[in-house]
Amino acid sequence: TIPDELPLGTLNTKSTLYKNTTDKSSIGSLKKGKEVEIIGEAQNYYRVVYGNNAGYVLKKNIDLKNEQTTTPDPVTQLTGKGDSVKNINLTVDYTAAKITHSGKSNFIIYAYDGDDKDLLVNHIGSYSGTVLITGKADKLAIRADGDWSISLFTPETEKASSFTGTGDYVSPFFNATGTTWTFTHEGSSNFIVYQYSAGRKELLVNQIGNYSGSVVSSIKAGAQSLLVIKADGDWTAKVSK
């Protein structure tokens, strides 16, 4: 099932439809002027549905028809280079942080609430992904060797039962239509999925490398939830009864 309200786009040039964003294997060609539904994004690509096919098309090849951003307006925008400590003031239960880093060495971020700290990112080299901060936080401690950016925002609410993406991800708030989740992952490192709901945190998947399977969540159908995904490759997530 695809979300009810999708941003639409029109191809401004003949475009290749790719299976994924890593090996760039083609699964078809789309003519200029064709209309597609956008169901996700990964770096310089939109994930689109056209007919019975889903794949990736370069963003520059698509003109959006109804403007709809995949990330809400940031609550706080932070930028810097190298090691830094930034004061923040988060007071809600869940805050998403869209983070980038251009560097070659360790990139580590902790969120602090007084003396308590939570590891958000621990990566080597360049990084692009979205992670979740739970509860209050008053500062971020960044260790980096390159330029970095952090956009803090509260996830929006959407009517959706499937998600796709690449790398670390925080979903919008949604009301799960069931308790059976099906996931796929094409990658070589950790693939970890949590479902959050009303203060609960349930581990759904904890795997290394490629994954394809279904699991049952103990969080009831209809409960407002968030998915938090840690991945290094393309992934899909779908819930059903």
Phi, psi of 61 (to 5 degrees): -90, 0
- Residue 55: pLDDT band (50, 70, 90) is confident
**Average pLDDT rounded to a whole number, residues 17-22:** 84
Q: From residue 186, how far is each of 16, 59, 125, 160, 163 by CA, in Å?
A: 20, 21, 20, 22, 15
Res 8: pLDDT: 77
**Average pLDDT rounded to a whole number, residues 201-218:** 96
- Residue range 147-189, pLDDT digits in tens: 999 999 999 888 888 999 999 999 999 998 899 999 999 999 9
Tokens 């040039």, located at residue: 13
Res 206: pLDDT: 98
Res 102: pLDDT: 95
* Per-state percent for the chain, helix, strand, coil, to nearest 5: 0, 65, 35
Tally the C-alpha atoms within 13 A of residue 66's C-alpha that lie toward its C-beta. 7
Whether the per-residue pLDDT at 67 is higher than 60: the answer is no
Which amino acid is present at 86? Answer: K
Of 74, 30, 81, 31, which Cα lies nearest the Cα of 55? 30
pTM, 2 dp:
0.70
Q: Say if CB 132 and CB 226 are below 8 A apart.
A: yes
DSSP per residue, 112-157 = EETTEEEEEEEEES-EEEEEEEES-EEEEEEE-SSEEEEEEE---B
Q: What is the mean pLDDT of the chain?
A: 88
Of 157, 182, 177, which Cα lies nearest the Cα of 237? 182
Angstrom distance (rounded) from CA 104 to CA 126:
6
Residue 57 gets which letter from DSSP?
Answer: E
Phi and psi based region of residue 190 (left: phi greater than 0; alpha: psi -120 to 50; beta: remaining): beta
Res 237: pLDDT: 94
Q: Say if CB 54 and CB 17 are below 8 A apart.
A: no
Phi, psi of 52 (to 5 degrees): -100, 5
